[in-house]
Amino acid sequence: MSAVEILPAEQGRELRQFLELPYRFYRGDPYWVPPLRIAQKELFDRRKHPFYRHAEVQCFLALRNGDCLGRIAAIHDRNYNDFHQEEAGHFGFFECVEDQAVADALLGAARQWLASRGARIFRGPVNPSTNYECGLLVEGFDSSPVVMMTYNPPYYGSLLEGAGLRKAKDLYAYFVATDDFTIERVERVATRSTERQGMRVRPIRMDAFQEEVELVWKVYNSAWSRNWGFVPMTRDEFLFMARDMRMILKPELVLLGEVHGQVVGFALALPDINQALKHARGRILPLGLLKILYHKRSILSVRIIVLGVLEVYRTVGVAAGFYRELFRQGTRLGYRDCEMSWVLEDNTLMNRSIEAIGGRRYKTYRIYEWN
């Protein structure tokens, strides 16, 4: 068998191959959701995307006899290392045929590139950080991913473990049907916390969108600061991501919690646009946009992406106020179920609270490491 050749993919033909590879790999897979090609190109645009102001990314392709068999990106995030006081490097955007030699070559190239920049810990997948899509799917292969969640074949975990990587942390995704949602307990806790703390939950003001997003950004970086794997988002990154989300969000499902006029928490749920994106097959033109708009009308699910509260308010039931309002607004808008994801496996308080309101863990994602 011919040797595996590793090539950097920085621009031109190689970068196009890197971006196009998943569309070839997953062709015919009923569960894969093709991301919009225009969005993928934007994510890898080093001149425009604010992530690259504090990080370096090197993409690699694996070829054998000229046939492209896999890809990986090595990610050196200076903000992550400064925040955690670690010498870490990450990998992401991993795709590979079921061939251990190819996986070994890809992971080895990424690790070597990161080691040359001082990294002693090798962790992933993150695409390109935990603020974006991350984790390898290890349980729950019988359904499509929801918006901003990953998907991969079942054998990917064996490839990573065969290369010497081991579990660092599992991330849980929960399914909650509106019929199973236990509203009574939430109502009691929410009413109690609202009266005691004087908390008010309100939707985002779209006529002051940037100002509202900046308030949320400050809470986000504070509320998640102690979470494993978290890296603060820069203001530019947060605004950049909010701009993209604005096109699909429902204001009633973007909630800010205030106590005495101060924002102390927020919740974000997005309609599962993946249900519409499936039909576009990654293209806006010539008919992709029309297909998205048509199928967008029949979306019945949402994903609760973030629900965070400043630490001082975490144990006094403030989160219940968000759950209650999301349930009220979601059912009013016609949504039948939601995914709550992702939650760290050792976040006992959040896992128990989701299970208490009717959540069923149905997917598990894994971050691996090699040190």
Domain end: 170, 195, 229, which one? Answer: 170
Check whether residue 185 and residue 329 sit in a common domain. Answer: yes
pLDDT computed for residue 311 by the predictor = 83
Domain end: 140, 155, 170, which one? Answer: 170
Check whether residue 151 and residue 281 sit in a common domain. Answer: no
pLDDT computed for residue 39 by the predictor = 96
Check whether residue 236 and residue 259 sit in a common domain. Answer: yes
pLDDT computed for residue 185 by the predictor = 64
Do residues 304 and 269 touch, judged by C-beta distance below 8 A? yes
CA dihedral 150, 152, 157, 159 (to 10 degrees): -130
Check whether residue 200 and residue 231 sit in a common domain. Answer: yes
Instruction: Specify burial of residue 99 (Cβ count, 10 A radius: 0-12, 13-18, 19+).
Output: middle
| Residue spans of the chain under pLDDT 50 | none
Domain with residue 102: its CATH number is 3.40.630.30
pLDDT computed for residue 193 by the predictor = 63
Q: How far apart are CA 253 and CA 136, in angstroms?
A: 27
Check whether residue 164 and residue 293 sit in a common domain. Answer: no
Instruction: From residue 107, give the alpha-carbon distance in Å to each of 97, 112, 157.
Output: 13, 9, 13
Check whether residue 181 and residue 162 sit in a common domain. Answer: no
Check whether residue 256 and residue 225 sit in a common domain. Answer: yes
Question: pTM of the full predicted structure?
Answer: 0.95
pLDDT computed for residue 316 by the predictor = 56
Check whether residue 200 and residue 312 sit in a common domain. Answer: yes
Check whether residue 246 and residue 135 sit in a common domain. Answer: no
Encoding tokens for residue 222?
């504070």
Cβ neighbors of 91 (< 8 A, separation 6 or more) are 72, 73, 74, 75, 107, 110, 111, 114, 122, 123, 124, 125, 126
How many distinct structural domains can be found in the chain?
2
Check whether residue 32 and residue 57 sit in a common domain. Answer: yes
Check whether residue 80 and residue 119 sit in a common domain. Answer: yes
pLDDT computed for residue 187 by the predictor = 74
Q: Which domain holds residue 41?
A: 5-170
pLDDT computed for residue 263 by the predictor = 92
Domain end: 141, 170, 199, which one? Answer: 170
Check whether residue 219 and residue 149 sit in a common domain. Answer: no
pLDDT computed for residue 195 by the predictor = 64
Amino acid at 222: S
pLDDT computed for residue 197 by the predictor = 67
Do residues 292 and 275 touch, judged by C-beta distance below 8 A? no
